[in-house]
Structure 1
Amino acid sequence: MSYKTILVTDSHAIRTITLNRPDRRNAMTREMQTELISVIEESATNQCCALILTGAGDAFCSGLDLLELQAMRDMTPAEHRTDAERLARLFVSLYELPLPTIAAVNGPAIAGGTGLATLCDFTMATPAAKFGFTEVRIGFVPALVAAFLALQVGDKRCRDLLLSGRLFGAAEAHQMGLVNEIVEREELAPRAHALAKSLIANSPQSISATKRLLAEQNRAWLDAAVVAALEANARSRETADFREGVSAFLEKRRPVWKSKC
């Protein structure tokens, strides 16, 4: 099957998904989200035994595409809800895929890009990679990533990253446990494939069962968190602060927030 925004290659039971919009720093679109959902869910029933996620060019994923952000200002509440549900399905599909997943982060992974990178079982990053949950800078709520981030780094660090919206490097991400390994750029792809080969040498049934067990242990909490996140995500898109934040971002100026402290 051919895709417009991603490349999919299979080799020796290893599937590599490459976000393929290098001219837009692999910024996420609705079409990309839909294609990622399709290939990730299909991978669960395919003959592949491990999945690598990476980006074309100098970026992993720079977050949501500017044109998508612009269109959000005119969307209906129902359309906002559908948008949020699509992103939730993408994150949950990647998190619960019964195959080992590896993110090879070749450059900046911002907002939703950080979510994609850190939801994989293993995250490798180049020394120059940057991460950040920058949603609060545009009046948005990082609701869906929050559901998973609290599990990964704990409440205190989760608050730091989500409330500040700051960027942080690969070394700090490694120290927090969001990145497993820092790898030089030229060694990133070979190292990711070497890890994938070592993983598929293990029992496929055991790996699948272990991943299902881990997902099931977090099921009740995560299901409730995702439901709450969907509501928060959709509501935040209807606020005056969101409209002002997006406008300011697109116009490259400081936002003048409508809400009060």
Structure 2
Amino acid sequence: MSEAILVAVANDVATITLNRAQVHNAFDDTLIANLTTALSDCERNDAVRAVVLTGAGASFSAGADLNWMRGMASASEAENRADSLRLATLMRTLNFLSKPTIARVNGSAYGGGVGLVACCDIAIGVGGVKFSLSEVKLGLVPAVISPYVVAAIGVRQARRLFVSGEVFDAATAAHIGLLHDAVAPDQLDAAVERVLHFLGKGGPLAQAEAKQLALRTGGMTREAAERIDTQNAELIARLRVSAEGQHGLGAFLDKHAPDWAKE
């Protein structure tokens, strides 16, 4: 397993840490593949009752890695589709994991990082951290993570945040349902431990069934998610190679505003 993530199992809990602090735990191919594998390993490990997902350093996850984005900007539509499907598999694996999952949001989350938070059953974050679904600023959309974000915050809030790309704080994240709680930095571990305490009192099979019950009642099944993932991968691949997407990605990578951005 690469050092892109760290996995530690203690007292029936697997803690998975995104370990690319130098780039704010941004996604690249290695992190996506290894996180997907780690989650699948937790699924099969009877010694794991719950999973805590967190980030190393000051951030939870900044979303897409700069070099990864540079590669995707020059890739074909088919290559972009395959890349998006790998990220979709990660999100789907996390969302439908049979074990209870907790996002320990130690720092800011952007783009795909917001997707990881939305895919967890319980999300607890530090007050003062920032969130954003900023893809429209690049001429793109948060396609792959959209089903999970919409399920977490609702269509009305998603419409605003998808089209504005605005930055919002932990208090807003808690108000709209992305976080269940926003706590002081020195209270984060205690808040996570409190949740784990209550999770430890439930039957593992009942918890797995309860989670699927909630998802199914909300209209979200693994089969439906896979179909939507295929459609969304096609969408983001098409936008990445479009004239607007190419200009937006190029402007971002060259560190200047795109032509459409107003002062």
Pairwise TM-score range, normalised by the shorter structure = over 0.9
> Which amino acid letter does the alignment assign opposite residue 25 of structure 2?
N
> Which amino acid letter does the alignment assign opposite residue 75 of structure 2?
M
Distance 1:176 1:195 in 2: 20
Distance 2:228 2:56 in 1: 32
Q: 1:83, CA displacement in angstroms?
A: 0.6
- Is the CA contact 2:118–2:148 (under 8 Å) kept in the aligned structure 1? no
Partner of 2:104: 104
Partner of 1:70: 70
Partner of 1:45: 44
> Which amino acid letter does the alignment assign opposite residue 230 of structure 2?
V
> Which amino acid letter does the alignment assign opposite residue 4 of structure 2?
T
Distance 2:77 2:233 in 1: 12
Partner of 2:126: 126
> Which amino acid letter does the alignment assign opposite residue 163 of structure 2?
L
- Is the CA contact 1:148–1:222 (under 8 Å) kept in the aligned structure 2? no
> Which amino acid letter does the alignment assign opposite residue 27 of structure 1?
A
Q: Identity over aligned residues, as a percent?
A: 33
Partner of 1:86: 86
> Which amino acid letter does the alignment assign opposite residue 37 of structure 1?
T
TM-score, normalised by the number of residues in structure 2: 0.93
Q: Which moved more, 1:143-152 or 1:223-232?
A: 223-232
Partner of 1:229: 232
Q: 1:223, CA displacement in angstroms?
A: 4.2
> Which amino acid letter does the alignment assign opposite residue 238 of structure 2?
R
Residue 156 of structure 2 is aligned to residue 153 of structure 1: no
- Is the CA contact 2:59–2:106 (under 8 Å) kept in the aligned structure 1? yes
Distance 2:224 2:43 in 1: 24
What value does the CA root-mean-square deviation take over the aligned residues?
A: 1.4
Determine helix, strand or coil for the equivalent of 2:241. coil
Partner of 1:18: 17
- Structure 1 counterpart of 2:250, from 247, 250, 254: 247
- Is the CA contact 2:131–2:167 (under 8 Å) kept in the aligned structure 1? yes
Partner of 1:36: 35
Q: 1:72, CA displacement in angstroms?
A: 1.1
- Is the CA contact 1:54–1:60 (under 8 Å) kept in the aligned structure 2? yes
Q: 1:224, CA displacement in angstroms?
A: 4.1
Determine helix, strand or coil for the equivalent of 2:168. strand
- Is the CA contact 2:43–2:99 (under 8 Å) kept in the aligned structure 1? yes
Q: 1:190, CA displacement in angstroms?
A: 3.1
Deviations 1:50-82 (A, max 9, x none): 000011111000111111111112212221111
Gaps of 5+ in 1: none
Deviations 1:9-40 (A, max 9, x none): 01100010011011111111110000010010
Deviations 1:96-128 (A, max 9, x none): 001110001111100001111121111111112
Q: 1:221, CA displacement in angstroms?
A: 5.2
- Is the CA contact 2:114–2:149 (under 8 Å) kept in the aligned structure 1? no
Determine helix, strand or coil for the equivalent of 2:27. coil
Q: 1:242, CA displacement in angstroms?
A: 1.2
- Is the CA contact 1:18–1:54 (under 8 Å) kept in the aligned structure 2? yes
Gaps of 5+ in 2: none
Partner of 1:198: 198
Q: 1:225, CA displacement in angstroms?
A: 2.9
Partner of 1:256: 259
Q: 1:154, CA displacement in angstroms?
A: 2.2
